[in-house]
Amino acid sequence: MGRVTLKEVAERAGVAIGTASAVFAGKSWVSPGTGAAVRQAAEELGYRPRTRRAAAAPGGMIGFVSWVSDLFSPANPYYAPVLFGAQQACAELGLSMTYEVVQPRGDRLPLCVAREQVGGLLVLSSAPRDQLRRILDAGVTCVLLEHAAEDLPVDHVGHDDETGGYLATRHLLELGHTDPPPAVIAADERALPAARRLAGYRRALAERGLRAPAGYVRRGDFTSETGHEQMAALLGLPVPPTAVFCVNDESAFGALAALRERGLRVPGDVSVIGYDDIAMAAHASPPLTTIASDKELLGAQAVWHLVQRIQRPGLTGRDTRIAVRLVSRESTAPPR
């Protein structure tokens, strides 16, 4: 007949699977009545909780999950080296890793959590806050990549994006793009990396006593389509910019396409700088100046943090930022 699952227990008790998991994990927030109902259902069905192995032990399992949203697509080429870096770190530590993309439907937990397969989780992109709380209450340690949850006992790992935005904008200013100053194709500030890169852009302008003219701060969603759309909008302004900072390489590719369609030269007429230095950046036309981020190190660092938190659950939460650097190629030059 097969082993009775936690899902069956939760259904018998009339509670969510996360609540049933919290009962067996001994979480204090579960009411006595709910706890009694879950334990009675487990007894009636003959359910016995699994003893979860620590993910830090050889042969242990950790999960790598992301929630699909308008700000995250698993097809984005940025994420492949992040995942590879995490896999390499797991191999060095004797760990297995499962990867899961979660659709934002209802309150379903990642399958690897619901099935009690993992003791630790790497969370890429912005997970719903209530889901994070339920995962932690289920006894699963979490490390967040590229986003933060300040009031939860988790580590945050990301790049030094505020410095990266500053370096990109300063590069354009030092080339002489000051009148008008550079424009920026940003993204929704719900995405922490985008918010920090935009803050760096503004800091670089402020150091020169400059402010972005009206219409020079554009919003996209990290895709080439919105990069194209927002570049076209910039070119329609009364005074178009001579330089544009795109907060990721994908949107920069769209901006380059929009400029080509208008018959404008890069960098002769408009300089363009991206962010992330994904593999295609060096092969763009022209090769794209960008801010390089160590994506493999991001994934590996998240694994190392996760193992440390599993071994020492009382650790203070850490906000780790990995250094970035400017990579100068052929898409930026002084204005004519």
Does residue 54 register a pLDDT over 60? Answer: no
Residue 173 reports pLDDT greater than 90? yes
Residue ranges in the chain assigned as alpha helix (H): 6-13, 17-24, 32-45, 79-93, 111-114, 129-137, 161-174, 192-207, 224-235, 249-261, 295-311
Among residues 69, 134, 125, 126, which one has the least CA distance to residue 107? Answer: 134
pLDDT at residue 68 is higher than 80: no
**Average pLDDT score over residue span 206-231:** 94
pLDDT band at 2 (very low <50, low <70, confident <90, very high): low
Which CATH superfamily groups domain 161-293? Answer: Response regulator (3.40.50.2300)
DSSP reduced 3-state for 199:
helix
- The whole-number pLDDT of residue 247 equals 96
Give the pLDDT of residue 70: 58
Percent of the chain past pLDDT 90, that is, above it, reads 57
Q: Which fold has domain 61-158+296-321?
A: Rossmann fold (3.40.50)
Q: Is it the case that residue 56 has pLDDT exceeding 70? A: no
Between 169 and 28, name the one with better pLDDT.
Answer: 169
What 8-state DSSP symbol labels residue 96?
E
Mean pLDDT of the chain: 89
Mean pLDDT of 35-46: 89
d(CA 314, CA 224): 43
pTM of the model: 0.81
User: In the chain, what is the straight-line distance between the N-terminal and C-terminal CA atoms, in Å?
Assistant: 77
- Write down the domain spans for the chain: 6-45, 61-158+296-321, 161-293
Give me the percent of the chain exceeding a pLDDT of 70: 93
More confidently predicted of 24 and 212: 212
Instruction: Characterize the bridge pairing of strands 61-67 and 120-124.
Output: parallel
The type of residue at 282 is: A
Say if residue 25's pLDDT is above 80.
no
Higher pLDDT, 191 or 246: 246
Instruction: State pLDDT tens for residues 234-265.
Output: 999 999 999 999 999 999 999 999 999 999 99
Question: How far apart, in whole angstroms, are the C-alpha atoms of residue 78 and residue 159?
Answer: 13
326-329: long-range pairs with CB below 8 Å, 24+? 326/167, 326/168, 326/171, 326/289, 326/291, 326/292, 327/277, 327/281, 327/289, 327/290, 327/291, 327/292, 328/171, 328/289, 329/281, 329/282, 329/286, 329/287, 329/288, 329/289, 329/290
Strand pairing report for 155-159 and 319-322: parallel
Whether 161-293 and 61-158+296-321 are alike in CATH topology: the answer is: yes
- Interval 64-70 mean pLDDT: 79
**Is there a contact between 139 and 300 (Cβ–Cβ < 8 Å)?**
no
Encoded amino acid at 143, one letter: V
Q: Pick from 109, 53, 43, 101: which is nearest to 73 by CA?
A: 101
Instruction: Say what the pLDDT of residue 57 is.
Output: 45
Least confident segment among 59-63, 88-92, 209-213: 59-63
According to the model, what pLDDT value does residue 58 have? 40
pLDDT band (50, 70, 90) for residue 47: confident
- Does residue 209 surpass a pLDDT of 80? yes
